[in-house]
Structure 1
């Protein structure tokens, strides 16, 4: 009988260990779940599973019945660029320095590994299409995906050229498939006349679904599901609706009759008790148009109906994607994560669009749906704890069983899903500009402006935020408790308001000055053209040495 020598025994043992490790790796790859990651652009909390009765969202509602819905979810920032950057980088705006839409991920955060790339680096096949990163396709990091299907734009079936303001004098006729459309469909002149395109528009488009960007994105995603050979995979799909313009196939607009549309509640004196900066935010058409224009042209009902139509269009497409997972027998090993980047105003606080600190801008729909075959999690659970979309990255890493990056600032939500969270901090931070933040809890919302002014709302007794109680004596204790959660923003020494000017004084570098009401240029640093004002500010700081970091200067000498 042949005996193995010592050397051969060692070689054989190494081979057995190697085979065992490979087998273990194969088993891990087979058992790691797939994840479908769905983002929806500008979707506020007008969805059925959050209790909004006017909208029809049966597919998202059925998803909620299969898993977890978060009724107190808020965004990291109420603007597309900084919110998506926070979610995909895992870092708050105050950490990354990304506060506005002037963002290109690979240019501005060259050392940061995005969430999709982190999955790719940890053994996942990663696919993406639509609006995930902010901006055009050129803004998507080349290392983020194994395959990226591009981004057509929410104006489709029209192009951005079709929407040019210079062509709308007052209308621009467009022909598609033998049909003529007069843009703008709503007949309103552009309040943001300084922009190239007029996107503050809405109405039905009687053209095939296949011409709309979100339909194309879902079709691409379903085709990719058919072709995926290797698992686990991360499929990321970014819907571009209900971002304006609110153009949808006609049948979705037919679902919402104008004479039956319920408008948001807006008391005539709703801005009366707001600080000056809040009134500016309410009335300035930073991201959409003016409320007075919508009312003047009799378009409020049409706008609300068109927004609801956009939501229902997206809902149907979500249903198509879920059906594909079921048809391809992927549902038993696939998690679904669905979220919106921030909310959207439709006349509340006399505002249209986003970029505010109010509840309508900060609260978002958020679903996490475990695999259909899982018995480890309960179904149809409404989680009322405070969560933030910044929590997405660590939660998804835990779902996938891959490492979490130390730079991520969110909290994994797995303790909530497993009902193991005993000391969850019930607070969420939203940053809506440099120096301005919202602190949300289940009962309260504190809005802190860069000039040191505040709003405080009792969400239990005043869910519509009609009464600012920040300056009532009985609010002092709550106000001081919530103020502790306002971030320091250590890169800045002072935040000052002087008239309409926002003045930022950094620890290092030059003073920055912004005219908050200068139409079309309120985000442009004007310091270079205001040397006299800079000298006055410097003298003021030198003379008074302010102890407060945020304040208002009524007059400068």
Structure 2
């Protein structure tokens, strides 16, 4: 009896131990998320086939992840694009249609991506430009606005990170001009600091420009966060290659400006409506450009100046690439690189002389197409590319799926995780974008809303009159159609060609059907 009892006790202890082990497993820490925004970044990267770009760190990162070759922004300007992707809603839902619109005032209760991740145990941190300029949206973050100490002067709190120069003479000139500008109108873009030369090449350490300084802040924050039990979601927003093209000299030295090709399509598309182009007011703020004409005029920027601007853009891209190389090396050193979902994206494209313009703010694909590259723990396919349609609004649900947390049911994007596992699978049959053309920057002085749809063969745009108070469209004013297969650079609008009538009708119906009818099966 004693022997049987002892055996029973032993069996009970073993069973209890097994049960305890099975029911008290330590919770596996969710992957961290590093959400990297690069302002005004078009696919000017080696991994996207740009033979001029010197971007070894991003290219290597892509060799370990997935590169999306057909990603479209929902609006080719900062505020609408970022409000859309950070909420998972498209511009007509956020009602953020131009730079001055503030999503938190328009949609006070909207839940942003970092807010959602915070619900599931993530510690959220913001460094740099994540929403538009300095709209840190403190509701979204546990740590909403980490800035380098040297840039925290009281008069700089509403200033944008791209407006800082190294030159003391330029700094003095900026302060003088700003005083004059604020006397005329106290509320100004970049708090009046967006003046000075359109480029600067200073022989200084990377950390002396703003993006380099905030990379150092990010590294220190990551070191601290790596010691926490909670996973983190860090939004890291770089300002370059936004104007002015100010970057350390060594990155300018990567390039011979004579070897940088000028734009392949330097003219506004033939047969385009008279209001499709932006006025280039952004470039007009900088020294020597205050009298440039509208792209839809006879004005042309000289070749020498074009080469300098394009050189500056490439140097700025290489500067960010160098900073990312330093950041990733630091993450490996502190042991968090492998357990972090890292996604790199641009908020919209940027014209470098294409369509006789410098800047963004159109419905043309040079402004709509953006880079998006992701790498995550235990990724099935590495170094792969997909040419399936993706959109920036897809990032929110995709990161939820990769992190293993609930995806909000109201998302207006689609998780692209299945594409990573099967890059050539059938996917969306279209991508959707839009742009609000305001009277003060339109060539004809009127207001319009343009709706864009990209399919495998065509790019189609419909323009309407627009009521900004009600957010409703009026009469259709014009249409544009581009054959992407034979005219990828969008030289000629063929919408009025008699042999394109059926295509226009089909695409118009598809555009009206919207994104829901373009979803993958």
TM-score for both structures, normalised by structure 2: 0.78
The structure 1 residue matched to 2:137, chosen from 119, 141, 147, is: 141
SS in 2 for 1:256: coil
Q: Who is 1:324 aligned against? A: 330
Matched, 1:388 2:391: yes
Question: Would the aligned equivalents of 1:164 and 1:196 in 2 still touch at CA under 8 Å?
Answer: yes
- Residues of 1 paired with 2:203 and 2:217: CA distance? 22
Give the direction of change, closer, same or farther, for the CA distance of 1:220–1:387 in structure 2 (3 Å limit). Answer: same
The structure 1 residue matched to 2:479, chosen from 444, 454, 459, is: 454
Matched, 1:62 2:60: yes
Matched, 1:444 2:432: no
Question: Would the aligned equivalents of 2:57 and 2:321 in 1 still touch at CA under 8 Å?
Answer: yes
Question: Would the aligned equivalents of 1:128 and 1:236 in 2 still touch at CA under 8 Å?
Answer: yes
Question: In the TM superposition, what is the alpha-carbon distance from 1:294 to its structure 2 partner?
Answer: 6.9
**1:321-365 CA-partner distances (Å, limit 9, x unpaired):** 111121122222112111000000111111111110011100001
- Residues of 1 paired with 2:488 and 2:172: CA distance? 40
Question: Would the aligned equivalents of 1:448 and 1:455 in 2 still touch at CA under 8 Å?
Answer: yes
Matched, 1:309 2:308: no
Q: Who is 2:98 aligned against? A: 100
- Residues of 1 paired with 2:102 and 2:19: CA distance? 46
Q: Who is 2:444 aligned against? A: none
Q: Who is 1:470 aligned against? A: 495
- Residues of 2 paired with 1:264 and 1:344: CA distance? 12
Matched, 1:257 2:256: yes
Q: Who is 2:509 aligned against? A: 484
Of residues 108-117 and 285-294 in structure 1, the stretch that sits farther from structure 2 once superposed is 285-294
Give the direction of change, closer, same or farther, for the CA distance of 1:387–1:460 in structure 2 (3 Å limit). Answer: same
Alignment map for 1:516-555 (pairs within 5 Å): none
Alignment map for 1:316-465 (pairs within 5 Å): 316-371=322-377, 374=378, 376-419=379-422, 423-433=426-436, 435-450=449-464, 451-465=476-490
- Residues of 2 paired with 1:362 and 1:125: CA distance? 32
- Residues of 1 paired with 2:329 and 2:456: CA distance? 35
- Residues of 1 paired with 2:271 and 2:177: CA distance? 41
Matched, 1:204 2:218: no
- Residues of 2 paired with 1:223 and 1:256: CA distance? 32
Question: Would the aligned equivalents of 2:388 and 2:424 in 1 still touch at CA under 8 Å?
Answer: no
Question: In the TM superposition, what is the alpha-carbon distance from 1:202 to its structure 2 partner?
Answer: 1.3
Question: Would the aligned equivalents of 1:157 and 1:212 in 2 still touch at CA under 8 Å?
Answer: yes
Give the direction of change, closer, same or farther, for the CA distance of 1:113–1:200 in structure 2 (3 Å limit). Answer: farther
- Residues of 1 paired with 2:136 and 2:196: CA distance? 23
- Residues of 2 paired with 1:347 and 1:208: CA distance? 30
- Residues of 1 paired with 2:204 and 2:337: CA distance? 32
Of residues 105-114 and 332-341 in structure 1, the stretch that sits farther from structure 2 once superposed is 105-114
Question: In the TM superposition, what is the alpha-carbon distance from 1:221 to its structure 2 partner?
Answer: 1.3
Q: Who is 2:6 aligned against? A: none
Question: In the TM superposition, what is the alpha-carbon distance from 1:244 to its structure 2 partner?
Answer: 0.5
Question: In the TM superposition, what is the alpha-carbon distance from 1:403 to its structure 2 partner?
Answer: 0.9
Question: In the TM superposition, what is the alpha-carbon distance from 1:101 to its structure 2 partner?
Answer: 1.0
Q: Who is 2:221 aligned against? A: 224
SS in 2 for 1:53: coil
- Residues of 2 paired with 1:344 and 1:293: CA distance? 19
- Residues of 2 paired with 1:227 and 1:458: CA distance? 51
Question: Would the aligned equivalents of 1:161 and 1:197 in 2 still touch at CA under 8 Å?
Answer: no
- Residues of 1 paired with 2:174 and 2:266: CA distance? 35
Gaps of 5+ in 2: 3-17, 148-159, 179-188, 285-291, 437-447, 465-475, 515-521
SS in 1 for 2:345: strand
Of residues 294-303 and 93-102 in structure 1, the stretch that sits farther from structure 2 once superposed is 294-303
Of residues 125-134 and 139-148 in structure 1, the stretch that sits farther from structure 2 once superposed is 139-148
Q: Who is 1:48 aligned against? A: 46
Q: Who is 1:287 aligned against? A: 282
**1:372-413 CA-partner distances (Å, limit 9, x unpaired):** xx2x51111111100000000000000111111122100001
SS in 2 for 1:456: strand
Question: Would the aligned equivalents of 1:74 and 1:430 in 2 still touch at CA under 8 Å?
Answer: yes
- Residues of 1 paired with 2:425 and 2:201: CA distance? 49
SS in 1 for 2:54: coil
Gaps of 5+ in 1: 2-15, 169-191, 490-557
Aligned pairs, how many?
Answer: 443
SS in 1 for 2:130: coil
